Structure 1
Amino acid sequence: MHTITALVFDDFETLDLFGPVEMFGSLPEHYRIQFASMAGGVIHSKHGVAMQTTATAALAYETDIVLVPGGFGTRQLVYDLSFLQTLTILADQADWVLSVCTGSALLAKSGVLDGKQATSNKLAWQWVVSQSNQVDWVKQARWVVDGKFYTSSGVSAGMDMALGFIADRHGVDTAHQVAQHTEFRWQKIVILMTSTVLNP
């Protein structure tokens, strides 16, 4: 059983979070999900969805996988040293780190993506890449895998990435079963380091 810690903040993009959560939540035998924020309490998405979170300092389970959504809230958080430090600690301790949309800007600003390939939302591309020149940004990618880091493009791309992660851990057939269960049309092209790979 792997524990996913979704690190959320006010004005996160709703589907950035709940798209991957739907995919991982389809495999409860493999994944449990805890929702964290800096101070805990109620966090609101960009669309006004309210959700209860636990403070990062009081999580019930150790983090195996960090999931970082994007959204307008990231624009302020790139200047929040306390948040970036917490993100760095979680990322360093985790076996895998996944970001959706401008969540990769937070990872980049924290320094954990230095020397790594990554991608992000194409509509916010210039702002994202301006957060770090130490990242090898791959603009054409739907999602990118580099070591333990999975970064995806905007919004719905997070679901493609989540299925790609599931395929890497549990096989392509399992990922297809989740896609079928959720009636989602999986876009399977991934950039892996410097090569473009089409999953079977």
Structure 2
Amino acid sequence: MSVYFRGKKEQHVNLFLFEGFETLDIFGPVEILGQIQTYTLHYYSLTGGIVANAQGVQVVTEPIEQANPYGILVIPGGMGTRRLVDDKEAIRIIGKIAVSAAFCLSICTGSAVLGKAGVLDGKQATSNKQALGWVKSIAKQVIWIEKARWVVDGKFYTSSGVSAGMDMTLGFIKDRFGEIKAQDIANHIEYIWNTDSTEDRFAEI
């Protein structure tokens, strides 16, 4: 359901969490998305309850099936994706929501989850370069871009490792609200935004 906030349509941001997700993967983009007045952020997991990430941060979540299917879906990466891609029920639900979502943003190995769900088949995407070999083995029908800070293909935004998610999210804000808004947010959080999505020094390391 959508509501109107001060005359503007509110949009749900569905943040899907799982055991072992990476902290900055999700909370970097959260800091940025939270600056948009019409976005409301909601934390979900497969069954709801408390989810602990790779660094031991605990987050209270709701069951993912309660999410607004037409919102913005955000999926972080982290070591927990290694287990998540083998969870058939989770992949089914994520795939279903990804199809209906207005936009899908994945950070790091979160793209492996979308890839396993089949929603990236035939599309360009990227992931953490240190894990790209594994990610490719999970989703062979995806056109994996080996050198990119982030990649956009239609409604799908995928980023390289960890901090790249912040650059991608600012790029997403630029596409939705303009470059001035994106730069204003970067300035507000005192973040040096890497504006070139093709610049990926870590692909060469």
- Verify same fold: TM over 0.5: yes
- In structure 2, stretches of 5+ residues that fail to align are 1-9, 199-205
Map of 2:5 onto structure 1: none
Mapped to 1, the partners of 2:174 and 2:38 lie a distance apart of 13
Map of 1:48 onto structure 2: 56
Residue 25 (structure 1) aligned with residue 34 (structure 2): yes
Q: What RMSD in Å do the two structures reach over aligned CA positions?
A: 0.9
Map of 1:142 onto structure 2: 149
**How big is the shift at 1:2?**
1.5
Map of 2:123 onto structure 1: 116
Mapped to 2, the partners of 1:97 and 1:2 lie a distance apart of 13
Give the TM-score of the pair, scaled to structure 1.
0.92
Residue 174 (structure 1) aligned with residue 176 (structure 2): no
SS at match of 2:61: strand
**How big is the shift at 1:143?**
0.1
Mapped to 1, the partners of 2:65 and 2:127 lie a distance apart of 28
Cα contact 1:3–1:62 (8 A) shared by 2: no
**How big is the shift at 1:62?**
4.5
Mapped to 2, the partners of 1:109 and 1:156 lie a distance apart of 23
SS at match of 2:20: coil
**How big is the shift at 1:68?**
0.3
The number of aligned residues is: 189
Residue 39 (structure 1) aligned with residue 67 (structure 2): no
Given residue 41 of structure 2, which amino acid in structure 1 is its aligned partner?
A: I
Cα contact 2:69–2:97 (8 A) shared by 1: no
Cα contact 1:4–1:63 (8 A) shared by 2: no
After TM superposition, the structure 1 = structure 2 runs for residues 73-152 of structure 1, keeping only pairs within 5 Å, are 73-152=80-159
Same amino acid, percent of matched pairs: 49
**How big is the shift at 1:58?**
2.7
Give the TM-score of the pair, scaled to structure 2.
0.90
Cα contact 1:145–1:190 (8 A) shared by 2: no
- In structure 1, stretches of 5+ residues that fail to align are 192-200
**How big is the shift at 1:190?**
2.0
Given residue 90 of structure 1, which amino acid in structure 2 is its aligned partner?
A: I
SS at match of 1:3: strand
Mapped to 1, the partners of 2:90 and 2:65 lie a distance apart of 12
Residue 5 (structure 1) aligned with residue 14 (structure 2): yes
Mapped to 2, the partners of 1:92 and 1:4 lie a distance apart of 15
